[in-house]
C-alpha cells in the first residue's frame, strides 16, 4: 500500500448547505424549476455535467452554461462564508495517516472546489496532490488512474461514500473503503467506516501485512 486517495463530498466534509443555497439562488434568479433538496442530495458526487443536465431545467444551452458558471462562483463564495463542516476526528486521522502514506483527493467537483476546501479548513499541508473533474473532465476512475500515474502509485486505496466511488475504484483496480457518514451506499467495500479514526488501524494493519 503506497497511498490513500480520498473523495471529497461526503467523505472528508459536508458542504451541502452552501451548495444547495447557491443552486436555489441561481434557479430563482433564472426563473427555472426549483430543485428539491431530495433531488439535490441525489446529485452530490456526480460529475458536474450530469448535475448541469439535472438542474436549471428548460434553459437554452448557452444560458445554462453561464448560469452554472454563476452557480460555481456563488457556491465557492458561500462556502468561504461558512456552512461547511469537517467530519469528526478527520484532521487527526489525516495527520496520522500522512506519517505513513502520501494523501490525495480525486473528486467529481468543479475546478477550484478542492482548493476552496483546503483553504477554508487549512488542510493543504496534508495532501500531496488533488484532481477535480473540472481540471480533468473524464470519469473518476480515469482520474484515479491519472493520479496514480503522475505519482508512480502501484497499490493505493480509495476512500469514498457512494456506489459511484466504489465503481471508480473497481475501474482503477484498487481497494475501496466506504465512509458510512456520507451520501450513498456501497455493495462490497473492503470495509465500512463509521468513524474516520478506524482508517488509521485498518491501513496500518494492511501495510504491516504486505
Q: Which residues contact 6 (CB under 8 A, 6 or more apart)?
A: 12, 103, 104, 105, 106, 158, 159, 160
Q: Average of pLDDT values for 157-183?
A: 95
Q: Average of pLDDT values for 53-60?
A: 80
pLDDT at position 178 over 90: yes
Please report the pLDDT score of residue 182 as a whole number. 76
pLDDT, tens digit, 9 for 90 and up, residues 63-96: 888 888 899 999 999 999 988 999 999 999 999 9
Distances (CA, A) of 90 to 7, 79, 93, 134, 209: 13, 19, 5, 25, 25
Q: Which residues contact 122 (CB under 8 A, 6 or more apart)?
A: none
pLDDT, tens digit, 9 for 90 and up, residues 12-32: 999 999 999 999 999 999 988
Please report the pLDDT score of residue 154 as a whole number. 97
Work out the pLDDT band at 169, boundaries 50, 70, 90.
very high
pLDDT at position 4 over 80: yes
pLDDT, tens digit, 9 for 90 and up, residues 96-119: 999 999 999 999 999 999 999 999
* Residue position matching grid coordinates 465557492: 76
Q: Average of pLDDT values for 150-168?
A: 97
d(CA 152, CA 83): 36
Amino acid at each position: 500500500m503506497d497511498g490513500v486517495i480520498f473523495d471529497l463530498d461526503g467523505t472528508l466534509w459536508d458542504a451541502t448547505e452552501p451548495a444547495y443555497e447557491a443552486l436555489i439562488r441561481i434557479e430563482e434568479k433564472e426563473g427555472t424549476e426549483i430543485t428539491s433538496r431530495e433531488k439535490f442530495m441525489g446529485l452530490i458526487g456526480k460529475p458536474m455535467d450530469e448535475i448541469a443536465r439535472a438542474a436549471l431545467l428548460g434553459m437554452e444551452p448557452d444560458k445554462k452554461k453561464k448560469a452554472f458558471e454563476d452557480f460555481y462562483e456563488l457556491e465557492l463564495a458561500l462556502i468561504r462564508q461558512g456552512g461547511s463542516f469537517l467530519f469528526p476526528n478527520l484532521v487527526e486521522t489525516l495527520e496520522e495517516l500522512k506519517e505513513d502514506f502520501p494523501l490525495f483527493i480525486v473528486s467529481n467537483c468543479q475546478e477550484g472546489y478542492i482548493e476552496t476546501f483546503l483553504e477554508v479548513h487549512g488542510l493543504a499541508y496534508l495532501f500531496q496532490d488533488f484532481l477535480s473533474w473540472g481540471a480533468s473532465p473524464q470519469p473518476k476512475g480515469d482520474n484515479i488512474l491519472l493520479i496514480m500515474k503522475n505519482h508512480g502509485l502501484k497499490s493505493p486505496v480509495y476512500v469514498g461514500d457512494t456506489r459511484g466511488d466504489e465503481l471508480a475504484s473497481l475501474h482503477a483496480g484498487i481497494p475501496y473503503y466506504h465512509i458510512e457518514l456520507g451520501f450513498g451506499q456501497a455493495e462490497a467495500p473492503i470495509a465500512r467506516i463509521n468513524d474516520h479514526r478506524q482508517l488509521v488501524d485498518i491501513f496500518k494493519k494492511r501495510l504491516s501485512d504486505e
